[in-house]
Chains A and B, each alone.
Chain A
Amino acid sequence: MPHRWGMAVDLDRCTGCGACVTACHAENNIQTVGDREAARGRAMHWIRVERYWEGEFPDVRVKFRPVMCQQCDAAPCEPVCPTYASHHNEEGLNAQVYNRCIGTRYCANACPYNVRFFDFFNPKWDKPLQMQLNPDVSIREVGVMEKCTFCVQRIHAAEIQADAEKRPLKDGEIKPACAQACAPNAIVFGDLNDPESEVSRLSRSPRGSKLLDDLGTLPKVTYLSRQEV
């Protein structure tokens, strides 16, 4: 049976520290656009921590929600792409083929989660970040769209390794950068086709829900809601 990669995010555990954002930048060679461009709203965070406040000061509660590509099964970004740059791969991921992208940006408009990013300029990094580029991830040139891949390079590497050792993949063997960096273990990644995997178990939780579920996009990320105390 092919894998079906999914994620569970426990909002009760998320502290909003932002380590996932930093780890994602480092792992995926995401350019740091600089303060002026970021002020224009062009910061690229494949994963972001959304903050929502509830109540009036001093009785304020803050809610954190890490939002990354939801890898929808009925993804609105896919049918609108005229060149198949955005397409569904056999493991259920929304793949983005950078070389095929011509930059219509239609996918980003169609995405209800706003998790797709456009390379407004050729990539550059604030020094000395250019020294730590990941050789497993391609650099995107100006004019293409990019987004969270569930660290597809790590998935492929683990699959190849397991194949070479002639054994099935173990649950928890693959960790995307965000999950790896998450100190309170709020982010869990795994195979949704394996009913025993931790991500499957968490996805079945009564606390679980999908982001913007009513749009019918069938996301593969489950959010576990906060428990009131």
Chain B
Amino acid sequence: MSEPRHERMTSDLLRPLERTSWRFYTLVIVLGAIVATGLGTWAYQMYNGFGVSGITWPIFWAFYITNFVFWIGISHAGTLISAILRLVNARWRRPVTRCAEVITAFALMIGAMFPIIHLGRPWLFFWLLPYPSSRRIWPNFRSPLVWDFFAISTYLTGSVLFLFLPMIPDFALVRDRSTGFRRKAYGVLALGWSGTTRQWHRLESAMQIMAIAIIPVAVSVHTIVSFDFSMAPVPMWHSTIFGPYFVAGAIFSGIAALIIAMAALRKFLHLEAYLHTLHFENLGKLLLMMSLLWGYFVFAERLTTWYGNEASEMAVLNVTQRGSFAPLYWTMVVCNFIVPLSILSFKRLRTIAGCVTASFGVLIGMWLERFLIVVPSLGHKYLPNSWGQYRPRPVEILITIATFAAMSLLYVLFSKFVPIISIWELKVGEHPVHEASPAPNRRPEPLFQSEP
């Protein structure tokens, strides 16, 4: 073991845990205040009645469901991407995986709040869950909302496990370097890790199993979220394309979120030595591919609708393409397709700044995409006499802003208490000999591909 290099790695990556700057406190206070405002707004909505939001007849779903789909989509950043990168043994994955997996866990928690926030009577949300009640009433298993509950709880359990497993050796490392209460706390989290060969072997196989198991779960989650729409006989919702379309969109927005999170970590935690331009470039290529895939799905969806020329669907299509939703629609196309394509297609522009710009575009575009799926259809159902308009009001805007603050807050706190880059995996990557159960065909792999 080349001790000095490892020592530096450990101290670099544990620095955020051991030292706290005033910037951390400021950030936590500001973000915490925004989150508290959001929670207060929700309480205001519950106290005064749902009518304080902008939702109206016949557009009964709007911002909250948009946020729900958006955040569940963001959650595909992590687990899915990191599982795929682990399985194909991509060499550059090692500093990226944990940043990604954390996004999954937190985005899922935030996303899963929205089906509750949007309820007319949120205090009765547990009626959605199958629990043994004295009245022996089960939830309606035919309802896609009940499927959502199973899909999201499975994915959350799976991705928290998937996040936690590779953290165990790092918790042990922190435990061994600290004293007092900190030693005790990390000792509990490390689950008695002592680094024996047996433990390494167990960890490796558990991670392998989770990496394989989590992929179908991730795909099914966003498919089931799309079923919330495609199961209802609503124009432009009732579509067979929605499953893969939503999954592709989810991975797309997930990668964008990951790039932004990594760029922020790199800057604020001074991880320039670990998160290289190469990582951004590789993720940028993935983002470019997903942008093309997303464009393909939108094209296929719009073209078939237009060609089919069914009256009720054309009403929705027209109002998005050139009606009152057209400004949002074309902003979405620019953000999701034109911007990523014109930045990421060129190696010269695939820099960190370029990737981050494209990613911000994608986040805005994907939020708009979810909004444009939910609202125009509901406002333009079959009977023109019952068409309606939607205008958001401060309540849902504040709650939406608060979710972004909540995501940042959780991320800041996490990177304060847990090494955001998997230290042991970095070391293993440098010295494959130390890998606990080296597969016979596994070649020694350098940490990074040659820097450009």
Contact = CB atoms under 8 A, between A and B. Distances in A.
**B partners with A:** yes
Chain A interface mostly: loop
A101 interface: yes
Contacts of A112: 233-234, 381-383
B119 interface: yes
A102 B244 CA distance: 30
Contact of A83 (B49, B127, B383, B388): B127
Contacts of B127: 82-83, 100, 102
Interface string B371-407: 0000000100111111011000000000000000000
Interface in A95-129: 100-106, 108-110, 112-114, 117-122
B142 A79 contact: yes
Interface string A25-65: 00000000000010011111000101110000000000001
B325 interface: no
Contacts of A142: 49-51, 120-121
Interface stretch (B56-64, B202-210, B360-368, B413-421): B56-64
Most chain A beta-carbon contacts within 10 A, residue among B121, B388, B389:
B121
A76 interface: yes
Interface string B228-269: 100111100000000000000000000000000000000000
B131 interface: no
Contacts of A102: 119-122, 124-125, 127-128
B49 A121 contact: yes
Given A80-B145, A82-B127, A82-B146, A109 B60 contact: yes
B232 A114 contact: no
Interface residues of A, number: 46
Contact of B51 (A37, A105, A106): A37
A113 B57 contact: no
A112 B312 CA distance: 11
Nearest to A141: B121
A13 to B, nearest CB: 20
Given A42-B57, A80-B143, A120-B50, A212 B382 contact: yes
Nearest to B141: A82
Contact of B49 (A41, A48, A117, A120): A120
B432 interface: no
A152 interface: no
Contact of A84 (B56, B140, B386): B140
A69 interface: no
A229 to B, nearest CB: 24
Interface residues of B, number: 42
Contacts of B295: none
Contacts of A101: 120-121
Interface string A164-192: 00000000000000000000000000000
B58 A108 contact: yes
A110 B164 CA distance: 40
Most chain B beta-carbon contacts within 10 A, residue among A48, A118, A215:
A118
Contact of A41 (B56, B119, B381, B384): B56
Given A41-B389, A82-B127, A121-B49, A106 B232 contact: yes
B144 interface: yes
Interface string A61-80: 00001010000000010011
A223 to B, nearest CB: 12
Nearest to A77: B232
A114 B50 contact: no
B137 interface: yes
Nearest to B378: A109
Interface of A: 37, 40-44, 48, 50-52, 65, 67, 76, 79-84, 100-106, 108-110, 112-114, 117-122, 142-145, 211-212, 215, 217
A-B interface, 8 closest residue pairs, ranked by CB to CB distance from nearest: A103-B120, A143-B120, A120-B51, A105-B60, A114-B386, A50-B385, A121-B49, A143-B121
Given A40-B56, A108-B57, 13 more contacts: A41-B56, A52-B384, A67-B383, A80-B145, A82-B127, A83-B127, A100-B127, A109-B58, A117-B57, A118-B50, A120-B50, A144-B121, A212-B382
